Structure 1
């Protein structure tokens, strides 16, 4: 079995085609990832990806593998990225890394903030933020061209999540820069961003302890004071960091990727312009077709498990490929075709862009609604929107785990 190079230029340039080719060669492949000493299993087919994501025999924390445990691949990657060991706990411990009861304990602390009802209550505020950002777009244009990623797709979700969490408005730009560094940089800048974020959150927690408000940070502090066993200091810092970074990065790039997709598929754009009520269905299809998350963090087998006809041995790491699953013709007819009417209604979710199972994205409802609000308002306000460059000339981050634009120049 050939080993896939996760940094292969073809994989980064066109992950949709490259991961599909890997999937059709076989359900599993060995994959070499920079910073990790041994290859991991890459899981590519829809049913197998859902199995790994939902099967309790696969865990996020290698310490939960019986016996001697398993090598912590995430720790190896952090070491390769130059993160000082004392900061590992903020990146390796928390809701994304924990399994079972510990994961549920942390999830329950914040889940009420992200219920469908609570998210719906936020819609008027989202719409207000969106309209203000769109009002300013013409002012940001130079020679008739504006970067929609910089001036719209990024600001909307970061304002929403920062207001929810409790990050003051004057600090939103700090978080944007830290997040950008965290998801795309290696070496000293990555480590510096982690240090700065941890210090900032610790100071914010101190302020909220002295003067509580109605934000999520104050709520976490209250939960800790009522029952210290529910949330440690490290877990609180990690939770806040995770929510802010994950709460805007993926949504920003879904809006960016989705807008680019619509502008390069005039038939689908015309269909949506003719009936904006199709937007919820369009968002689901855009999540499948050009969602920014290409893979999820590695899982570890707690026992020998058969996946796609292969035996994954206890302690071995597997990485589910969301992009390969979302383009699997066994699940989606003509998967390379963008079809905003593919989903029968706006509620049924067949894609795995938000993962699946216990670690299904906590903020999925928030991200969907932000995207719906963004696309509806953008197309209503600027129905003649067009790309300012050829679609093939749009630049993207060279990141094998994510599909993200560097900029989205458009004409209003």
Structure 2
């Protein structure tokens, strides 16, 4: 059995350290080679957690039924809910925090399957395939407008392309009216800030908005996911409570555009700074699906999963994890693990994914595998193919070192992506 690495006098790794967040790929890779599990903390305070960074260990944490997302489901112990503690520390009232803490992303077992079943039909490969013409139409329309948005020949691709595409698609699917979508973009920004006031205000406004929208949809049903959820709720409240319905809408809209937007942003920046890979893609657009997989591995926007709590004493990578202890699976550590990927730090869009399934874990793994993965991949494929077809001379408007990142723990995102068309 391996023993934990002594983190030294500095204590557990602080996942909120700005220097840590500036180079998460390198930092997690170094930690991965220290030990299978390393102690860490958020904000350098509170209960230390374990972080798992090796490919096999990450997949184990995400698929082993002995781990749960909700600490209340650890039998026989009162386990601190670390996310609840952090929300309270940031001034989020309990009446709003429940919409963050009790989502489909946090549910375990039968509750998770019940909620997932209610929305999964919207995200099947067949339904997503049927959406492709509409995704292409939205993409072409956004690209039509790009030249008119340029200032001195420069346009921000995050603001005017990477965000509008996925938020338009997911809002159409869920049933968010067009006039409300810019406000959702602003709420999304507020929720990922580290400023407490902005987050609390955004949560309160979003929840009120969803309740109002539910009332409007009851009065005038349409063919969208929200109408279907209302019908389920009204016919059988035991299958979907009022809070769960609001939380599902909140989660689906936010998760359905934030990560895809930054996959498009990160991926575009990666291709523009790797001209050999971009040339391969331009030369053979049929490689785009493989390129999306590689970009999700190499610069995916989600770097770690939610906390998982051990329901019994167990081992990960030969190291002991005690009942009730929290573990975070670090996706970027797994995706850069040389035990699984040859020369993992090299961007290579010709990497052949496992023919049975993708071998990266950018969309997670196990029961909580990303519900919208097929939609995100499709949006990425359409976005990259159309962008470089329409603007073959696209280039960065600033040196790569000057690209500004939003320093968010567990996330890899550009604040802006200034390009010349």
Matches within 5 A, 1:1-400: 1-2=6-7, 3-34=12-43, 37-344=46-353, 348-400=357-409
Task: Provide structure 1 residue ranges, at least 5 long, that are not aligned to the other structure.
Answer: none
Aligned-pair CA distance for 1:36: 5.4
Give distance in 2, aligned partners of 1:20 and 1:35.
Answer: 20
Give distance in 1, aligned partners of 2:39 and 2:278.
Answer: 39
Give distance in 2, aligned partners of 1:113 and 1:389.
Answer: 40
State the SS of the aligned residue for 2:411.
coil
Contact 1:35 1:77 in 2 (8 A): no
Describe the superposition over 1:37-73 as per-residue Cα deviations: whole angstroms up to 9, x where unpaired: 1110011100000000000100001110001231111
State the SS of the aligned residue for 1:366.
helix
* Matched residue count: 412
Task: Provide structure 2 residue ranges, at least 5 long, that are not aligned to the other structure.
Answer: 1-5
Give distance in 1, aligned partners of 2:407 and 2:228.
Answer: 38
Describe the superposition over 1:189-213 as per-residue Cα deviations: whole angstroms up to 9, x where unpaired: 1100000000000100111111111
Distance 1:62 1:281, change over 3 A: same
Give distance in 1, aligned partners of 2:313 and 2:291.
Answer: 40
How well do the aligned residues superpose, as a CA RMSD in angstroms? Answer: 1.1
Further displaced range: 373-382 or 30-39: 30-39
Aligned-pair CA distance for 1:343: 2.1
Give distance in 1, aligned partners of 2:44 and 2:205.
Answer: 23
Contact 2:16 2:44 in 1 (8 A): no
Contact 1:36 1:76 in 2 (8 A): no
Give distance in 2, aligned partners of 1:228 and 1:120.
Answer: 32
TM-score, reference length from structure 1: 0.98
State the SS of the aligned residue for 1:39.
strand
Aligned-pair CA distance for 1:348: 3.4
Contact 2:353 2:359 in 1 (8 A): no
Aligned-pair CA distance for 1:143: 0.7
Aligned-pair CA distance for 1:184: 2.5
Contact 1:293 1:353 in 2 (8 A): yes
Aligned-pair CA distance for 1:308: 1.1
Give distance in 1, aligned partners of 2:386 and 2:355.
Answer: 18
TM-score, reference length from structure 2: 0.96
